[in-house]
Amino acid sequence: MESDVFAVSTGRRERVSDITGECARFAARASGGRDGLLHVFVPHATAGLALMELGARSDEDLLAVLAELLHGRSHVLPAFLAPFLVIPVLTGTMALGTWQAVALVDLNVDNPDRQVRMSFVG
């Protein structure tokens, strides 16, 4: 298994960050063109991961729904958006759908610095 960590600065507001590029680069490098699984994990109690379409206001819609549902209780976010994803990798490329992106969802405005751990299993 190969593993790596990268940092994401989310700023001082609730935010959805597109981390697809970092994940794709790691999957390509770690897989060496082979098939396997990419595991993506955020070790934070107020952040989660989602596979979703980004842009076209979908990130704003997600934040609005979470605000209404959680009423500012960001510490329960991982009960709704898991802190991990598992993505198939085929010949070195993440097997995502046409509009799918890997999104880091961070509701904690007090901690702008996040880490994401990626692991590849061939």
Count Cα atoms within 13 angstroms, Cβ side, for 43: 6
pTM for this prediction: 0.94
pLDDT above 90 for 32:
yes
Structural domains in the chain (count): 1
Q: How far is CA 79 from CA 27, 47, 83, 91, in A?
A: 27, 10, 9, 33
Q: Which two tokens stand for residue 40?
A: 């993506």
Asked if 83 contacts 114 with a C-beta cutoff of 8 angstroms, the reply is no
Render pLDDT for 87-119 as a digit per residue (tens, 0 to 9).
999 999 999 999 999 999 999 888 889 999 999
**Residue span of the structural domain in which 117 resides:** 2-121
Find the CATH number of the domain harbouring 108: 2.60.120.460
